[in-house]
Amino acid sequence: MDQKVDLSAPHAMGTTIIGVTYNGGVVLGADSRTSTGVYVANRASDKITQLTDNVYVCRSGSAADSQVVSDYVRYFLHQHTIQLGQPATVKVAANLVRLLSYNNKNFLETGLIVGGWDKYEGGQIFGVPLGGTIVQQPFAIGGSGSSYLYGFFDQAWKEGMTKDEAEDLVKKAVSLAIARDGASGGGGPNSHNKLRRSGPGNFYPGDQLPLWHEEMEAHNSLLDILGAPEPMSM
């Protein structure tokens, strides 16, 4: 039976997104695969979007929906900063995301995680799942790969982690989701470390991620896996 692939379908991110608080800030992580059904439209997309200098959002669901919500929130936060003369708090940014998601819940198919740092509350993580609910949590996971991670986080997450411990936890969790969830993958997780001021992101290619049960090591081509000789160059 022939399987037809609709390449004109909206791009949806079969996704793993994660936000974790630690003792001094937050770590956000995501895989980098954007898919349209069974077709991988982009294997190196960035699902962590900057809203302000101190707040970022992890995007899952429809890529178009999550991008337009991020763009609107970024614009409103910029106006907010100009009017007040100081950066918006993480809670204000998260509530703007919640407001747009809830008021347009019949049209949007996106779940988001807002994370950042401000001088009032320190590092904070807010989950805004499909429908526009807002929940403040010490850690949040979302996307199709999250169903494989709840038990892992219940066991591995602990309060008062250092930045290195939190980043290592996010790296392990994203690699585990990539191993189990066919809709998550790509080049590896994009981890962004935030401490007071937004820091540069770290990219982990697939061959630098830990392997899990029955996973094969990364190869350059199918010929490497089969052990076949390279074809002669013409």
**Where is 171: in which H helix or E strand?**
helix 163-180
Residue 146: count other Cβ atoms within 10 Å of its Cβ: 22
| Whether 69 contacts 100, CB under 8 Å | yes
Sign of CA dihedral 62, 68, 73, 74: positive
- 15: annotated active-site residue: yes
- In which region does residue 24 sit, left (phi positive, over 0), alpha (psi from -120 to 50) or beta (all else)? left
State the DSSP code for 84.
Answer: H
**Catalytic residue numbers, as ranges:** 15
